[in-house]
Amino acid sequence: MPTPPQKVLDSRKNMAEDALRRALEKGTTFQDLYDIRRCLQDSAQESGLPNEFFEVLQDKDYANLYIKLTSRRGFTPPTGPSLGTGAITPPRSASGLDQFELPHASLSKGEEFHKRDKEGFIPPTYDESANPYNVKVHHPSRDHIEMVTASRCKEEESFISDKVLARNNLSLHLDRDNTIKLTWKELSETSAKTRRTKFRRISDKDIRNDIAIGQNLDNCGDDESSISDSMQQLALGVSPSFCSTEWKLMRAKSTTEDQLSRRRPCLQK
């Protein structure tokens, strides 16, 4: 495809930025360039434009637009060797094709994440007595508090919905297996130990509430005996007189904190 004039490229970039901004405001999650291309193709179709309208843009244009938009929304791309953050200039691949990598995603291979979504894990199931409870999500960097719901599930592992990840800018903190680790402790207990739980990313249609808490709360290696009586009551769907939990997003050399409480719940990042 011949390179179009710079004025055309600038115009398409502006239109692509507007389309991606609208999608992000609706809570759309982008895991890779495949998702971004598909979003822009849908936007072109809705506007009566050709499907290939945005194909004059390169992968680095898509990636730079995404970083620009998410930075404006209060998200700072994480850094550190464990997150594999790449440079803005795309590296040269062995095949001679340019590739751009964001944390945990090969942006030139969108099929990878979609394949992981279809791996054989069991969506959460629930006992009839598993009553949901409210959780407030709060980010200090924004004047925004969101109320979400959580409940206990029958499965060993825990789950977190795409909606919660997208609205709270957590998607790029996912590990390569589509999971995210959070640490937490009972705020109602002054001597409570800090514990860690791994949450698996799951589509909104496969989860009853926003968050599903599995049976193996300590699947990151903490002592099961540290579960408090109030947490055990909560697991049975009984509302304890006081139960508050603090969560912290764990990453190498990161001071980012997430808090989640259940009577006066709060998730901070």
What would the pLDDT profile of 162-189 be if each residue is shown by its tens digit? 888 887 777 767 788 888 876 665 545 5
Q: Please report the pLDDT score of residue 137 as a whole number.
A: 57
Q: Please report the pLDDT score of residue 208 as a whole number.
A: 87
Q: Please report the pLDDT score of residue 146 as a whole number.
A: 65
Contact criterion met (CB below 8 Å) for 64 and 55: no
Contact criterion met (CB below 8 Å) for 192 and 228: yes
Q: Please report the pLDDT score of residue 90 as a whole number.
A: 32
- Higher-scoring residue by pLDDT: 24, 137: 24
Token output for 161: 């919905």
pTM summary value: 0.41
What would the 3-class secondary structure string for the chain be? CCCCCHHHHHHHHHHHHHHHHHHHHCCCCCCCHHHHHHHHHHHHHHCCCCCCCCCCCCHHHHHHHHHHHHHHCCCCCCCCHHHCCCCCCCCECCCCCECCEECCEECCCCHHHHHHHCCCCCCCCCCCCCCCEEEEEEECCCCEEEEEEEEECCCCCEEEEHHHHHHCCCHHHCCCCCEEEEEEEECCCCCCCCEEEEEEEECHHHCCCCEEECCCCCCCCCCHHHCCHHHHHHHCCCCCCCCCEEEEECCCCCCCCCCCCCCCCCECC
- Higher-scoring residue by pLDDT: 52, 133: 52
Position 19 pLDDT exceeds 50:
yes
